[in-house]
A and B are shown apart, each in its own frame.
Chain A
Amino acid sequence: GQQLNQSPQSMFIQEGEDVSMNCTSSSIFNTWLWYKQDPGEGPVLLIALYKAGELTSNGRLTAQFGITRKDSFLNISASIPSDVGIYFCAGGAQKLVFGQGTRLTINP
């Protein structure tokens, strides 16, 4: 079946630093989505990507849909404490496959 490899699994950074995480797939996806999940809550959609090569921003977040349609990255610039959480990539179409998540910890 389809699998997503998300890296890194965890990140420990200083407030103000930039963050980069990525996902790769063994299969081609038509859609890449990035979510953030806080403890005990459901994931919140951050960015949706629909076209190969597409680069989309949402405030300090930027995500790209890889040209091969098998990968995507998410960047967070100038991190702040509320960025703490787990970030998931998801690929697919109507049905989504999720990556393992990247746990972001920020030292003030």
Chain B
Amino acid sequence: GAVVSQHPSRVICKSGTSVKIECRSLDFQATTMFWYRQFPKQSLMLMATSNEGSKATYEQGVEKDKFLINHASLTLSTLTVTSAHPEDSSFYICSANDRGEYEQYFGPGTRLTVT
């Protein structure tokens, strides 16, 4: 149980374009999903908390207009990196927790490379 998937696993895009990353909870309903970014040899940095049916809560320093988050259902959240730049290249990981639980289950991550 508690499986989270992400798609795509890898994406290469040109500077200025937008990229959408999907995060799905496969065998449970996730009222809350989280989006993290991880640079090489560093820890996970929380970008935003996504609640089903409401606006995402962004961490300080994360531009909400650049990183658009939509959590339209209890099993799907999407992160769209708009007008991507090379400095947005990173490993993006989502996580989800089941209702009332604090344990977060992570997706396999999406490697974004902006050229």
Partners in one complex: yes
A100 to chain B: closest CB distance in Å?
5
Which residues from B are CB-within-8-Å of A99?
43
Binding site for B on A (CB under 8 A): 30-31, 33, 35, 40-45, 48, 50, 88, 90, 92-101
Which residues from A are CB-within-8-Å of B49?
94-95
Tell me whether B103 and A88 are in contact (CB under 8 A). Answer: no
Interface size class of B (residues with CB under 8 A): 20 to 34
Tell me whether A42 and B43 are in contact (CB under 8 A). Answer: no
Of the candidate stretches B13-21, B62-70, B77-85, B104-112, the one touching chain A is B104-112
Q: What are 30 contact pairs spanning A and B, CB under 8 A?
A: A30-B102, A31-B102, A33-B104, A35-B106, A40-B91, A40-B111, A41-B108, A42-B93, A42-B95, A42-B107, A43-B106, A45-B104, A45-B105, A45-B106, A48-B103, A88-B43, A90-B104, A92-B102, A93-B102, A94-B32, A94-B49, A94-B97, A94-B102, A95-B49, A96-B34, A96-B46, A96-B104, A98-B43, A99-B43, A100-B42
Which residues from A are CB-within-8-Å of B72?
none
Of residues 41 through 68 on chain B, the ones whose CB sits less than 8 Å from some CB of chain A are 42-44, 46, 49
B94 to chain A: closest CB distance in Å?
8
Contact flag A98-B44 (CB < 8 Å), given A31-B102, A40-B111, A93-B102: yes
Binding site for A on B (CB under 8 A): 2, 4, 6, 32, 34, 42-44, 46, 49, 91, 93, 95, 97, 102-109, 111
Which residues from A are CB-within-8-Å of B34?
95-96
Which residues from A are CB-within-8-Å of B95?
42
Tell me whether A42 and B108 are in contact (CB under 8 A). Answer: yes
Which residues from A are CB-within-8-Å of B32?
94
